[in-house]
Structure 1
Amino acid sequence: MHAKLFAIIAACLFGATTPFSKLLLSQIHPLVLVGLFGLGSGAVMLIIRLLQVGLFHPERIKVELSKYYWLWLFGAMLTGGILAPVVLVYSLPRTSAATASILLNFESVSTTLFAAYLFKEKIGPRIWLAIILITVASILLSVDWSSSWGISLSALGVLLSTVFWGLDNNFTRNISMKDPYSIVIVRGLVSGSSVLCFSIILGMPFPSSIYLVAAIMWGGLVYGIGLVLFILAIRDLGASRASALLGTAPFLGALFSFFVFWELPAMQFVIALPFMVAGAYILLKEKHIAL
């Protein structure tokens, strides 16, 4: 029960990220925002961990990972800590927050497919039906009749970010039995500082202090606390099952977007939503088969 609760709380946090990120992008360069989110997640979790073990005993914080686990952590940092958020924040300005939120539900599909073909989790007929429904909805949301290509490149960018997060979820599953705080601290500090250093080299402008602090604190809340809760959920539920619960995040994001931006949903959104809801519901009800 705790694992499901952790996944649902994480879903609420991640669901609010799309509209909040869209607001911050009006004041912060996309690459800088990704770096601040990552740095915030690592820094905030480090502070929480220090408070847990005692400020005068920092030596108790250990990252005990073998070479094998470091490879999985590096993969998670690269795909989920750098590639996915960078692609997403560059796609958000040209995509409505509600549409982007719903498209992010494709993460459950990519996670399930990677879990099945790379890590041999079993997929039943109901899961395949869910994958088809969510894929149809994603295609509908990606069509852009005003484009000469017939597709929305920004929507495809959002979908690409979910592919990277699908890999990230499966990489994280392989180290989920380790200390989640250590995983998030290392992942956040390394990926965040790397992106920020790259931003400085490219001469990207940094925001005013109020937006800088807001981005760091949001990163700590969502990509710090939220990610720790998600890792704890993966331990008991597996990557595909935990991601199915996290699949409620896009619908929460669409709801938040409506209240934040007062965006009226486009006809494509209305048509695609039932397919996405049905697919997410099937994934949510499917029982996880342990390896």
Structure 2
Amino acid sequence: MHVGILIALLSATLFGASMPLAKILMGSVSPWLMAGLLYIGAGLGLAAVNVSRRVVGRAVAEAPLRKSDLPWLAAVITAGGFFGPLCLMFGLARTDAASASLLLNLEGLATMAIAWLAFHENVDKRLLMGAFAILAGAALLSWQGSASLNRGALLIAAASLFWGIDNNLTRKLSSADPAQIAMLKGLGAGTVNLTLAFALGAALPAIGDILAVLAVGFLGYGVSLVLFVLALRHLGTARTAAYFSLAPFIGATLSLALLQEPMTLRLIAAGGLMALGLWLHLTERHDHDHVHDEIEHEHRHRHDEHHQHAHGPDVPAGEPHSHKHRHEAFVHRHPHFPDIHHRHGHKRARSDGPS
């Protein structure tokens, strides 16, 4: 299995596991304060990891965020950490919880649509069919009644759109250190959410509950986001979002054990749809002659077929390593995903089926 797929599935597993854990803690922590503490837990936890690595001299060879990345990072925090939660807050005040849960599944579709239409990422029929199967399973898990199209529903759809924008803009940063990206995003989004929570009159719970939420945030939001960014690097936005859409099923499955919730026909049917979508994605093969344009960029790499370049005296020895390097233009053919080296255009969608 491709390493990017494994990373995306692990990211979805951690985030999905955070759902039932957050539900257990919801009795003592308000929903809006919960969101802020989860983000802050991600930011503080990753900050502690970064500091400890530097102290023991085990810093990872990743490209740091540069000055040119800051506008993209600001846009990510603004879209995903401010406008998304803000629309969700006002939407929840105007619609029922069942409709809100269903409508929030639009995030995956929004992410894929933006990647396809705005950033021209290749999306073939097989990927679309798999994504709709996974999202149909997620919608089935969320469905508890009819969803009325009112102002609240439109606001929640807008929140999904902002998170779809967030996911696509994060791809612009995916060649940089994912832990640094996730840390800054967690601290930024956490600060915004906590400010809104306290403005709405939220009160801090007991210290034990705070620590528990922070721990869930570190794993379910922080580590999961690090893996999500790495998956973007390997798979591109649309495919990462499609695999990540398995998170609701993972959360529902864990709820059976953690919350003693019953096994239902709906859960079995949703699992079947998601298994179909996963199979369609795992058996995708995208293989054609493609051109690598000349490009200069910086990211963590080894000297594989895409990285044959000379080093100056300032480049650290050993692999993997990170430094600015230039790719010469060349043409070749092999199975690939729209990763950071395969963001070329397509005259038509290609999918040659299972290998």
TM range (shorter): 0.7 to 0.9
For structure 2, list consecutive stretches of 5 or more residues without a partner in the other structure: 286-336, 344-355
Q: Within 2, Cα distance between the matches of 1:284 and 1:78?
A: 34
Q: Within 1, Cα distance between the matches of 2:129 and 2:152?
A: 26
Deviations 1:187-220 (A, max 9, x none): 1111111221222233211111111111111111
Q: CA deviation at 1:27?
A: 1.2
Report the counterpart of residue 127 of structure 2 in structure 1.
127
What SS does structure 2 have at the residue aligned with 1:16?
A: helix
Report the counterpart of residue 45 of structure 1 in structure 2.
46
Report the counterpart of residue 34 of structure 1 in structure 2.
35
Report the counterpart of residue 11 of structure 1 in structure 2.
12
For structure 1, list consecutive stretches of 5 or more residues without a partner in the other structure: none
Report the counterpart of residue 24 of structure 1 in structure 2.
25
Report the counterpart of residue 226 of structure 1 in structure 2.
224
1:169 and 2:167 matched: yes
Deviations 1:97-127 (A, max 9, x none): xx95x98765443322111011101222223
The aligned amino acid for 2:66 is: L
What SS does structure 1 have at the residue aligned with 2:126?
A: helix
Report the counterpart of residue 233 of structure 2 in structure 1.
235
Report the counterpart of residue 186 of structure 2 in structure 1.
188
Report the counterpart of residue 77 of structure 1 in structure 2.
77
Q: CA deviation at 1:150?
A: 5.7
The aligned amino acid for 1:256 is: L
Q: Residues 137-216 of structure 1: matches in 2 within 5 Å?
A: 162-216=160-214
Contact 2:32 2:193 in 1 (8 A): yes
Q: Within 2, Cα distance between the matches of 1:285 and 1:105?
A: 24
What SS does structure 1 have at the residue aligned with 2:119?
A: coil
CA 1:21–1:79 in structure 2 vs 1: closer, same or farther (change >3 Å)? farther
Q: Within 1, Cα distance between the matches of 2:54 and 2:17?
A: 30
1:258 and 2:256 matched: yes
The aligned amino acid for 1:36 is: L
CA 1:66–1:284 in structure 2 vs 1: closer, same or farther (change >3 Å)? farther
What SS does structure 2 have at the residue aligned with 1:11?
A: helix
CA 1:127–1:156 in structure 2 vs 1: closer, same or farther (change >3 Å)? farther
CA 1:151–1:90 in structure 2 vs 1: closer, same or farther (change >3 Å)? closer
The aligned amino acid for 1:212 is: I
Q: Residues 101-116 of structure 1: matches in 2 within 5 Å?
A: 107-116=107-116
Contact 1:19 1:260 in 2 (8 A): yes
Contact 1:43 1:189 in 2 (8 A): yes
CA 1:241–1:134 in structure 2 vs 1: closer, same or farther (change >3 Å)? closer
What SS does structure 2 have at the residue aligned with 1:214?
A: helix
Identity over the aligned pairs, expressed in percent? 30
- Pick which of 193-202 and 225-234 moved more: 193-202
Q: Within 2, Cα distance between the matches of 1:165 and 1:260?
A: 28
Q: Within 1, Cα distance between the matches of 2:256 and 2:110?
A: 26
Report the counterpart of residue 279 of structure 1 in structure 2.
277
* Structure with more of its chain in strand, by fraction: 2
The aligned amino acid for 1:196 is: L
- Pick which of 255-264 and 81-90 moved more: 81-90
Q: CA deviation at 1:38?
A: 1.0
Q: Within 1, Cα distance between the matches of 2:222 and 2:127?
A: 30
The aligned amino acid for 1:75 is: A
Deviations 1:2-37 (A, max 9, x none): 433322221210111221122222211111111101
Q: Which has the higher contact order (CA 8 A, sep 6+)?
A: 1
Q: Within 2, Cα distance between the matches of 1:237 and 1:163?
A: 21
Structure-2-length-normalised TM-score: 0.66
- Pick which of 40-49 and 78-87 moved more: 78-87
Report the counterpart of residue 324 of structure 2 in structure 1.
none
Q: CA deviation at 1:271?
A: 5.1
Contact 1:37 1:215 in 2 (8 A): yes
Q: CA deviation at 1:84?
A: 4.7
